[in-house]
Structure 1
């Protein structure tokens, strides 16, 4: 619930861009800044706020503070009388939405090693519900009570969750890894590790492919021959939600030591999904099937990546998740920016080729890391000896995962 509400605050603007921009006096050509502002805030939060999770002894308090402050920012957006006030509220909302990464790190920390993947899978499913569900729910709320009601409801939910996490979630009770300055200074050092770079590159191309679909899908659906309205287009989010939740067992597969083969298979399915998605002009059922397959693949890979990283670096779960999500954020932005430009020149066929190309790049990174020898002291899975020694959380030790 924490993850779903937090991430919805960033993506809720997508289905209400037109009425929101019109009421705030923002020209249609610049309406994209409403969404972009939240994404920029989120990117800053990954660098500045996520490392705090490795400083505090009990991350529940950090979750509560971020949720309460996020409720204030959402309330400012809901009550904004000018575009600059709304953008300021959205920027802070995005900044504090990194509570998602703190929640993932917390779940990984309090879970027994053999159940870590399952816990990450459950929590991460909340992110998917927030991203895809926000499109459907925000559209319905805006139609009934206006776009401001979307942010008012999210503010109330955030405030309620801030109180709930302190009373419902178990205390963490762990040792601090150092002060904020020290943890922040060492954040950059995480990127020198092969493990984070490899999984980060897979995530970069994975979410570039994801962004290509969801940021460009409304363009061909609103055009001939389908000419669907906004609410009808939003229903395809339900198909994506079904596919993503279908990958809920990805965490259990990771716990069983099968993260590597599952990741490879999921990336193959991601490439195949674009074959169906490219047939959008032929039949909508083919598009729906492709969306289910794509979101299943994305969720399976995403959960496996986070499981491997938190198992390898249990003392820096917040930092390593924050570093990984930087790749996610940049990949999503690339896919969103590229798909509209490609669609304008080459139509949906060009966008589909772009999405499939990103998927093939992710598959290539995974294959190179898994099968190409890396010299003395390197395992076939691309992890060094030190990584493997850290990564013995599952029943089979996760070697080569």
Structure 2
């Protein structure tokens, strides 16, 4: 499940180190290129909202296999894009269909013993984050050697292989709810109203992933603008550096199994804020960016695992719908961060990107502070 989550979520991020190459192909501006990651994240949020709830009312293995096949077709659409509008729309369709990781994570939580749920979720999420990070490395290396279109053809082929593997290896899991589809969607609002912890951790997830996305959506453009004019390969290699943060996921999950407080969220968001201080002060050098990337990915991943461990514990019979609310908010925050980061880059350069990312992380710390003040009264 960790490997499948990593391979499938990677589809959302192959374009990031290749934005410069895509821009040259279509003669697109930096502002237009910013629409590609933004539409990918918005599409993903729409897929989470309208497709992931079906994981509670349909046989889960079949749903996962069908969505994996559909994302392969969407990737082929990106690979043959003849112009920039097609590229942007096709990227959005890839986002809509790339919901397999968010069907796999609740399934893993469902299969795991209660005392090990945080560790299991952490393991699958570490695979997911490694997929996000190494997708940039793979795209940077393969995109330079074979062209950016080849990367998406390769990704489509990988998804077809994954269709077969998932069909043969995943256990069949019956539906946990008999609600019809319209009732499933309506129940999302009830979960938001009735679960304050869901609201809190969804907001924290949105702010931290927005901060994360502001950096990664603009890194390739920043590296290209430096005096050395670093290309997609260098941008992709920072994904390897970021894997150091992903190894924290199972450790965070074990801590979340033992303790249910928010100290790990405060620590994680604080590390995320610190990463943008480092990137602003030391981002003129590759080693400074590398240090910032390690802190960025550690903070983002630790916060994500702590959030999901608490959210999945709320209502076992509604885990896919809880995940829908959480992840729709999370990726809406990611889309906002990618767009704000791109706008800040086009107007104020690298310091503007760091201000956006650091500002979103700082807002997360303020939210946690207010939540801690309200808790004794509640």
State the TM-score, normalized to the length of structure 2: 0.90
Which residue does the alignment assign to 2:54?
52
Q: CA RMSD in A?
A: 2.4
**1:346 Cα deviation after fit:** 4.0
Aligned partners of 1:107 and 1:212: how far apart in 2? 29
Aligned partners of 2:79 and 2:346: how far apart in 1? 33
Report 1 or 2 for greater relative contact order, CA contacts < 8 Å, sequence distance ≥ 6: 2
Q: 1:164 to 1:180 in 2, by over 3 A?
A: same
Q: 1:87 to 1:199 in 2, by over 3 A?
A: same
Which residue does the alignment assign to 2:78?
77
Is 2:14 the partner of 1:12?
yes
Which residue does the alignment assign to 1:393?
none
1:310-349 residue pairs with structure 2 within 5 A? 310-349=312-351
Which residue does the alignment assign to 2:253?
251
Whether contact under 8 Å (1:50, 1:101) holds in the other structure is yes
Is 2:202 the partner of 1:200?
yes
Q: 1:17 to 1:215 in 2, by over 3 A?
A: closer
Secondary structure at 1:312 match in 2:
coil
**1:147 Cα deviation after fit:** 2.2
Q: Which stretch has the larger CA shift, 251-260 or 318-327?
A: 251-260
Which residue does the alignment assign to 2:294?
292
Once the two structures are superposed, what CA deviation does each residue of 1:118-150 show, in whole Å capped at 9, x if it has no partner? 111111122212222121101222222222221
Secondary structure at 1:248 match in 2:
helix
Q: 1:259 to 1:284 in 2, by over 3 A?
A: farther
1:1-400 residue pairs with structure 2 within 5 A? 1-20=3-22, 23=25, 25=26, 27-28=28-29, 30-56=32-58, 58-80=59-81, 86-87=87-88, 89-173=90-174, 175-192=176-193, 193-225=195-227, 227-258=229-260, 260-281=262-283, 283-373=285-375, 375=377, 378=378
Whether contact under 8 Å (1:247, 1:297) holds in the other structure is no
Secondary structure at 1:228 match in 2:
coil
State the TM-score, normalized to the length of structure 1: 0.85
More helix by share: 2
Aligned partners of 1:371 and 1:226: how far apart in 2? 49
Secondary structure at 2:177 match in 1:
coil
Gaps of 5+ in 1: 379-401
Aligned partners of 2:215 and 2:82: how far apart in 1? 33
Q: 1:352 to 1:75 in 2, by over 3 A?
A: closer
Bigger CA radius of gyration: 1
Q: 1:285 to 1:278 in 2, by over 3 A?
A: same
Gaps of 5+ in 2: none
Aligned partners of 1:347 and 1:293: how far apart in 2? 21
Aligned partners of 1:258 and 1:32: how far apart in 2? 38
Number of residue equivalences: 374
Aligned partners of 1:346 and 1:94: how far apart in 2? 28
Aligned partners of 1:348 and 1:79: how far apart in 2? 32
**1:368 Cα deviation after fit:** 2.1
Q: 1:362 to 1:112 in 2, by over 3 A?
A: same
Once the two structures are superposed, what CA deviation does each residue of 1:162-218 show, in whole Å capped at 9, x if it has no partner? 222232123334532422121112122222131111001111211122122222333
Q: 1:85 to 1:373 in 2, by over 3 A?
A: closer
